[in-house]
């Protein structure tokens, strides 16, 4: 199966690195970075020739696997834990971390493979853009109803596109985030070591990532926050390593990791500068000078991997990073409409409390508290200039639910930030641990200063929480406190494990279990009742012999369920969007066709304009709000 080629290549690269002397966590990070670079090279390179698809990707990954296997020194391999003689408490901590990580990773793996992608954003643009890229053989822009299909950072989708192509569908696309979860566990442990944590601190840091509820839930999904978080963790690791070793290779790895973080998620542009400042602050004078001298290597690598997408964005509307709004017209902007101390304070309060949400009753108390503080400070908590929504106003509310990946808080990890701050102040030492902590704080402040508040920001905080686990682990793993660290880890696991099993979007138990529920029905877990009409519309078009289908998604962006229904029934079906009335309509990619034999029009049933627009097709078949226009012979 072609889908096995990427994990084979990554495993071989990991073994090659370890067999040549790389510490195993460092080797794992380098293997994942090497895989990401290969994904980027294949995607951008094949797109130049319109060849982005299964045949070329299979050849590319097959060659990568053979090359990596040829580099393995099999006789030099040994267990990463071999020869270790540790105190029994350290051994117990390591065993606990391995067990909790294995449980979380196994639960997330099953949810990822057996569960269908079903978040709104995933159905609106993350996976639709993947389908059109593969149809067109290129990541060049195409006519799209939803601006985010074109403009938003694409690195996670590059990976998902390759897994979609090699797997012949979306069965394995969610393993991108899952792999990032594994990388984050190993990476944060490595980061803790670079901060100066002992064995216990490194184990606790890894364990805290493994039991972070939002990270566990995201690990089975098709979003991109966890992937961006992994790249930021890797960037911090290799930046600290470069400062210590003065190695251009480490600086190159740091630059690639930072660049891929920026190419994965726009929030990385808010987190990375503060993280860079924090890392520099935590170095001694020699390390700071060394890292600054290597700065050009880091910057060039980061800019290089972002250049192609920036050029496409600039050619489209003059904005290299995208226009900064969800609609492309500047109406639903992500950034605050105004800036000031009151805006920053309001967003700091509202975003911080998202991480403390638990039960509905407790959430109401939190809302009352926040509203009271806003009133006392003379700040409007409902200010539309600082609260994101497509409508002009949305009342402030806390919606935290521990089982939903979009809004699940990392409660315990957040609470541990308080003793971390006290510990750092008590130490009175500006070292790497303090510097990284400052970097996390600066990232959060920048996030709150720039972005409008959203009720689903908890998932966007996760990259910062991953980074914070390294100094937290160092604090809890101090020589006199390993028992405390073990107790915290066990307590966190007891809270997180039920969440991992009862993932609201891809549960492993109950009537909606991924093992029992129909996979197509799972796509609509958040949109109950819509699955039948979209499936019947796709089935109707195929039954009529149509294999060149246009989808009109201008009234309903949730087009992916139609795409997958058509492609699962017949992978040879050609797809494009219709009803596109924005500047992207000028694009005509290689896979484009004008002679669609059917138009599936989403949420067009009650709209007479749809019938007028496609009048040449005659009377449509109607499936609730979905219309199917068939070209008459």
Say yes or no to pLDDT of 361 above 50.
yes
pLDDT mean over 480-494: 89
Are 298 and 435 part of one and the same domain?
A: yes
Q: What is the pLDDT of residue 198?
A: 93
Are 348 and 413 part of one and the same domain?
A: yes
Q: What is the pLDDT of residue 157?
A: 99
pLDDT mean over 219-242: 98
Position 234 in a domain = yes
Are 143 and 216 part of one and the same domain?
A: no
Containing domain of residue 123, as a range? 118-173+529-633
Query: Residues of 377-398 as b/e, b for ≥16 C-beta within 10 angstroms?
Result: eebebebeebbbeeeeebebeb
Run of H or E residues at 460: helix 458-476
What is the band of 363 on the pLDDT scale with cuts at 50, 70, 90? confident
Are 146 and 204 part of one and the same domain?
A: no
Rounded Cα distance, 188 and 25, in Å: 10
pLDDT in tens, 512-534: 899 999 898 898 887 765 667 88
What is the band of 390 on the pLDDT scale with cuts at 50, 70, 90? very low
Full-model pTM: 0.95
Position 258 in a domain = yes
Unique residue bearing structure tokens 């053989």 = 137
Q: Which among 429, 405, 434 is positioned nearest to 178, based on CA atoms?
A: 405
Are 510 and 549 part of one and the same domain?
A: no
Q: What is the pLDDT of residue 392?
A: 31
Rounded Cα distance, 233 and 108, in Å: 20
Q: What is the pLDDT of residue 556?
A: 86
Tokens of 389: 């929504």
Tokens of 316: 């489209």
Are the beta carbons of 256 and 300 closer than 8 angstroms?
no
Are 164 and 291 part of one and the same domain?
A: no
Position 90 in a domain = no
Q: What is the pLDDT of residue 528?
A: 63
Q: Which of 85-94, 439-448, 492-501, 516-525 shows the lowest per-residue confidence on average (mean pLDDT)?
A: 85-94
pLDDT in tens, 96-130: 999 999 999 999 999 999 999 999 899 999 999 99
Q: 574-578 and 626-630 as β-strands: parallel, antiparallel, unpaired?
A: unpaired
Say yes or no to pLDDT of 155 above 70.
yes
Are 179 and 169 part of one and the same domain?
A: no
Say yes or no to pLDDT of 373 above 60.
yes
Give the contacts of 557 (CB within 8 A, at least 6 positions apart).
Answer: 123, 124, 125, 145, 146
Other beta carbons less than 10 A from residue 37's beta carbon: 16
324: left (phi over 0), alpha (psi -120 to 50) or beta: left
Rounded Cα distance, 253 and 266, in Å: 20
Q: What is the mean pLDDT of the chain?
A: 92
Are the beta carbons of 112 and 173 closer than 8 angstroms?
no
Q: What is the pLDDT of residue 330?
A: 60
Q: What is the pLDDT of residue 369?
A: 87
Position 631 in a domain = yes
Say yes or no to pLDDT of 441 above 70.
yes
Position 25 in a domain = yes
Are 401 and 418 part of one and the same domain?
A: yes
Position 103 in a domain = no
Say yes or no to pLDDT of 398 above 80.
no
Are 180 and 254 part of one and the same domain?
A: yes
- Counting the structural domains of the chain, the total is 3
Are 505 and 543 part of one and the same domain?
A: no
Q: What is the pLDDT of residue 328?
A: 62
Are the beta carbons of 476 and 201 closer than 8 angstroms?
yes
Say yes or no to pLDDT of 30 above 60.
yes
Domain limit, last residue, from 516, 544, 568: 516
DSSP H helix total and E strand total for the chain: 27, 5
Tell which wins on pLDDT, 291 or 535.
Answer: 291
Rounded Cα distance, 40 and 418, in Å: 39
- Burial class for 134, CB neighbours closer than 10 Å (0-12, 13-18, 19+): buried
Rounded Cα distance, 259 and 301, in Å: 7
C-alpha R_g of the chain: 25
Are 76 and 134 part of one and the same domain?
A: no
Q: What is the 3-state secondary structure (H, E, C) of 607-632?
A: CHHHHHHCHHHCCCEEECCEEEEECC
Are 227 and 291 part of one and the same domain?
A: yes
Q: What is the pLDDT of residue 395?
A: 45
């Amino acid at each position: 199966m072609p889908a096995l080629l990427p994990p084979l290549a990554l495993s071989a690269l990991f073994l090659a690195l370890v067999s040549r002397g790389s510490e195993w966590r460092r080797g794992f990070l380098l293997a994942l970075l090497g895989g990401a670079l290969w994904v980027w090279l294949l995607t951008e390179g094949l797109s130049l020739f319109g060849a982005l698809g299964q045949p070329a990707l299979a050849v590319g990954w097959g060659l990568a696997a053979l090359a990596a296997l040829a580099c393995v020194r099999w006789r030099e391999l040994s267990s990463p834990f071999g020869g270790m003689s540790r105190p029994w408490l350290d051994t117990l901590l390591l065993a606990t971390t391995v067990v909790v990580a294995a449980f979380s990773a196994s639960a997330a793996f099953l949810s990822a493979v057996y569960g269908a992608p079903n978040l709104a954003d995933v159905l609106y643009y993350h996976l639709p853009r993947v389908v059109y890229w593969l149809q067109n053989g290129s990541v060049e822009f195409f006519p799209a109803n939803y601006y985010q299909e074109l403009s938003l950072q694409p690195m996670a989708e590059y990976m998902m596109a390759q897994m979609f192509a090699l797997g012949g569908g979306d069965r394995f696309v969610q393993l991108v985030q899952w792999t990032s979860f594994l990388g984050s566990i190993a990476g944060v442990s490595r980061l803790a070591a670079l901060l100066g944590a002992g064995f216990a601190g490194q184990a606790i840091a890894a364990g805290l990532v493994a039991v972070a509820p939002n990270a566990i839930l995201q690990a089975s999904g098709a979003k991109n926050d966890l992937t961006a978080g992994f790249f930021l963790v890797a960037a911090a690791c290799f930046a600290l390593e470069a400062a210590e070793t003065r190695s251009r290779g480490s600086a190159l790895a740091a630059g690639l990791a930072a660049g891929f973080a920026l190419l994965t998620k726009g929030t990385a542009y808010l987190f990375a500068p503060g993280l860079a400042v924090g890392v520099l602050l935590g170095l001694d004078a020699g390390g700071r000078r060394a890292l600054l001298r290597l700065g050009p290597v880091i910057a060039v690598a980061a800019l290089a991997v972002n250049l192609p997408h920036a050029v496409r964005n600039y050619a489209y509307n003059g904005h290299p990073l995208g226009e900064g709004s969800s609609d492309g017209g500047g109406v639903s902007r992500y950034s605050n409409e105004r800036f000031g101390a009151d805006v920053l304070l309001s967003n700091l309060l509202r975003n911080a409390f998202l991480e403390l949400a638990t039960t509905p009753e407790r959430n109401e108390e939190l809302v009352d508290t926040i509203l009271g503080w806003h009133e006392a400070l003379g700040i409007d908590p409902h200010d539309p200039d600082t609260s994101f929504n497509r409508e002009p106003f949305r009342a402030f509310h806390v919606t935290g639910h521990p089982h939903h990946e979009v809004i699940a808080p990392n409660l315990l990890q957040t609470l541990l930030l308080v003793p971390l701050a006290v510990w750092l102040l008590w130490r009175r030492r500006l070292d790497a641990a303090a510097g990284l902590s400052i970097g996390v704080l600066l990232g959060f402040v920048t996030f709150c200063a720039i972005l409008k508040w959203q009720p689903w920001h908890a998932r966007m905080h996760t990259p910062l929480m991953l980074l914070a686990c390294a100094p937290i682990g160092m604090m809890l793993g101090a020589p006199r406190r390993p028992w405390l660290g073990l107790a915290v880890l066990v307590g966190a696991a007891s809270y997180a494990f039920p969440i991992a099993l009862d993932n609201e979007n891809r549960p492993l138990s109950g009537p909606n279990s991924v093992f029992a529920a129909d996979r197509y029905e799972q796509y609509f877990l958040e949109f109950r009742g819509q699955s039948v009409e979209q499936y019947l519309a796709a089935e109707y078009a195929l039954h009529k012999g149509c294999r060149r289908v246009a989808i009109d998604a201008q009234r309903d962006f949730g087009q992916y369920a139609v795409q997958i229904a058509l492609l699962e029934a017949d992978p040879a079906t050609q797809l494009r969007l219709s009803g596109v009335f924005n500047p992207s309509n000028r694009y005509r990619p290689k896979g484009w066709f004008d002679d669609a034999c059917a138009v599936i029009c989403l949420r067009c049933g009650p709209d007479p304009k749809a019938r007028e627009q496609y009048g040449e097709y005659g009377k449509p078949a109607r499936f609730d709000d979905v219309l199917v226009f068939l070209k008459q012979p």
